[in-house]
Amino acid sequence: MNHSMSIPFVVKSAVAVISMVKENEWTEGISGPSERLINFKIKIAPDFDLLTKEGASLKDVECSLTVKNGDYYNEHTDANKAIGVFVYRKHEDEYSSDEENIFASVVIDDSFFSELFSLVLSGRSPQKIMIYARDLEYGRDFEGQDAVLDTSRKNGINLVDIVTFEMASVVENLKFIEGESASFESKILDLMRSFKSLIHKELALYRFAFVIIIGLLLLK
């Protein structure tokens, strides 16, 4: 298996989709819910850069990720033990809305997908996504904060080995609560501050008791 490198993305939006298929002459024998997937609009993280071999930055290129449930993407990925694809496209015609775009599409384990799908369906979303793609090259940054993508490769397809999702903490999510829930946010934050203050007081008490014990031992 070729070495894969990670590309960090921040999530702009997430949509849980249930596609419905109505039986007709093209879908004979198929009806009802046919597929669940999650569509993410993503952006390369601010502290990272993805470059072409010519040195041009792809940082501002529109990016997206589609996540499906299962363990099989297609014959090519299955033969190469990958979970999906990372694709660069450059549009040459005048009718395309974006001159360039990057999209990834992967499959993940059913149980984990169900949790992620329910989360997005409820209005929450991962904060960051890390995509590990093959056939990338190291960039010029000594700390590994960039990578080089060969945009001239046939079909512009790179295989994906791993995708990870980073959730925001509860406190960070509470910052987005508005309206009537704002009072709930303040109560939670006040409770956390009180708990933190209590811990500090207890530690101070322990230190004081320890000093007294040492003093008594020295007096003996």
Question: Is 63 in the same domain as 134?
Answer: yes
Chain centroid to Cα 37, Å, comes to 15
Instruction: Choose one of 124, 141, 167: the last residue of a domain.
Output: 167
Assess if residue 32 is contained within a domain.
yes
Q: Are residues 82 and 111 in the same domain?
A: yes
Same domain as 184, residue 155: no
Same domain, yes or no: 101 and 192: no
The answer, yes or no, to whether residue 204 has pLDDT greater than 80, is: no
In terms of residue numbers, what domain contains 198? 179-219
Does some domain include residue 60? Answer: yes
Q: Indicate whether 65 belongs to any domain.
A: yes
Q: Is the pLDDT of residue 39 over 90?
A: yes
Confidence band, pLDDT 50/70/90 cuts, at residue 206: very low
Give the tokens for residue 95: 């009718």
- 3-class secondary structure, 185: helix
In this prediction, residue 100 carries a pLDDT of 86
Least confidently predicted of 50-59, 107-116, 135-144: 135-144
Residue 22: inside a domain, yes or no? yes
CB 120 within 8 A of CB 15: yes
102 assigned to some structural domain: yes
What integer pLDDT is reported at residue 208 of this predicted model? 47
CA quadruple 207, 209, 212, 214: dihedral, nearest 10: -70
**Beta strand extents in 47-140 (DSSP E only):** 49-52, 62-69, 84-90, 100-108, 128-134, 137-138
Burial (CB count within 10 angstroms: exposed 0-12, middle 13-18, buried 19+), residue 82: buried
* 2 vs 10, more confident: 10
| Closest C-alpha to 55, from 137, 128, 111 | 137
Structural domain count, the chain? 2
Residues 161 and 183 in one domain: no
Q: What is the amino acid identity at position 162?
A: I
Angle at 38 between CA 146 and CA 22, to 5 degrees: 145
Q: For position 176, what pLDDT does the model report?
A: 40
* Phi, psi (rounded to 5 degrees) for 194: -65, -40
Same domain, yes or no: 159 and 185: no
Inside any domain, residue 172: no
Task: Mark whether 152 and 186 lie in a shared domain.
Answer: no
Considering the domain architecture, whether residues 163 and 188 belong to the same structural domain is answered as no
Alpha carbon distance 132, 84 (integer Å)? 10
Q: Name the strand (E) or helix (H) holding 44.
A: strand 32-44
